[in-house]
Amino acid sequence: MQESTLYPVTNMSGIDGGFSINFIRGLKSYELTNHLGNVLATVSDRKTGISYNNSVFDHYEAILTSTQEYYPFGFMMPGRGSSSAYRYGFNGQKKSDELSGKGNHTTAEFWEYDSRLGRRWNIDPVVKHYESPFATFDNRPIWLGDPNGMDSTQRNKAIRRGREYIDKKPKKNTYEYGAKGAQPGEGTIDCSGLISQLIIYAGETDPNYGSTGHGVSNIEQNLPRVDPKDVVPGNLATFYFPADEDAPYHIGIISSVQRDEAGNIQSFTLIHSSGSIGLNEKTVPLDGKDYYAKHISGYLKFDMIPDPVKKVNASLY
């Protein structure tokens, strides 16, 4: 080989032998969904060459492997699909055909759902006193989706992120007053810093701004309050500890709520970063004895996008 002056040959040492990879086409499918996450069609990773003169391909077309259309609550339209074999469909969820027949039932993390009835089999984990615990999509399935059966995409996303912080927590106290920007598995973070990161991750802007001098009080100032009877997982709980002069304000995200038959909160679980141990999830019983419960100053709502997905233009077709 004659060496070029522009592109000199460089010998690479340390490489001995090689390997080859065979990639088999036709084993992968891609989902085509609408604004609700409903799988309307799937296409293969193969393509068909189209030629108008029987020689060179003029263009390629995708290979359609399945199509399906749905009534508003997810029941598949008879005769309006090319295949019912694909295992994911309405709401982007996995079909459980062995329970109620083909396309009549889907499974998600927080529900078993019957698309013929538009109702869930189990009680909604998000307590809402204004509708049945078996209702779905706020009875507006044309506008709203519910990808995991928990009602609010944003609130659920924030809770999951909070648990990711805990799961990846370093083996040390991860609390540091004033620490704000750490991601899961990284350094230290204080209570308001954690909440800011969860809210940003869920798709909202950071509410920690203003001139109050404290992150928690800034957040309280910028978010709407929630009445105790309307508190749901994903809302925020704030606390005021007057005995702690250096850091009297505290905040966390509620991950679950337990109520009595009258709808009163009995306890809730809180994901937060506390001064003693850092990132953790604790139960706060409202029994009049718990230290945290005695110092609750209020509840806040951070999710401003209409539950659980954003609206689209009314003329969908």
The 3-class SS string of 222-274 reads: HCCECCHHHCCECEEEEEECCCCCCCCEEEEEEEEEEECCCCCEEEEEEEEEE
Least confident of 30-34, 184-188, 305-309: 305-309
Same domain for 228 and 274, yes or no, is yes
Same domain for 189 and 285, yes or no, is yes
Q: Would you state the pLDDT for residue 15?
A: 54
Q: Whole domain around residue 97: which residue ranges?
A: 35-139
Position 226 in a domain: yes
Q: Would you state the pLDDT for residue 7?
A: 44
Same domain for 77 and 176, yes or no, is no
Percent residues over pLDDT 70 in the chain: 82
Position 201 in a domain: yes
Same domain for 67 and 176, yes or no, is no
pLDDT (tens digit, 9 = 90+) per residue, 55-64?
788 888 888 8
Residue 205 has pLDDT above 80, yes or no: yes
Residue 312 or residue 24, greater confidence: 24
Closest CA to 163 of 234, 71, 64, 259: 234
Least confident of 27-36, 120-129, 246-255: 120-129
Which of these three, 117, 139, 161, is where a domain ends? 139
Same domain for 93 and 178, yes or no, is no
Same domain for 131 and 247, yes or no, is no
Residue 81 or residue 181, greater confidence: 181
CATH number of the domain that residue 190 is part of: 3.90.1720.10
Position 150 in a domain: no
Position 22 in a domain: no
pLDDT band at 51 (very low <50, low <70, confident <90, very high): confident
Total count of residues recorded for the chain: 317
Residue 12 or residue 143, greater confidence: 143
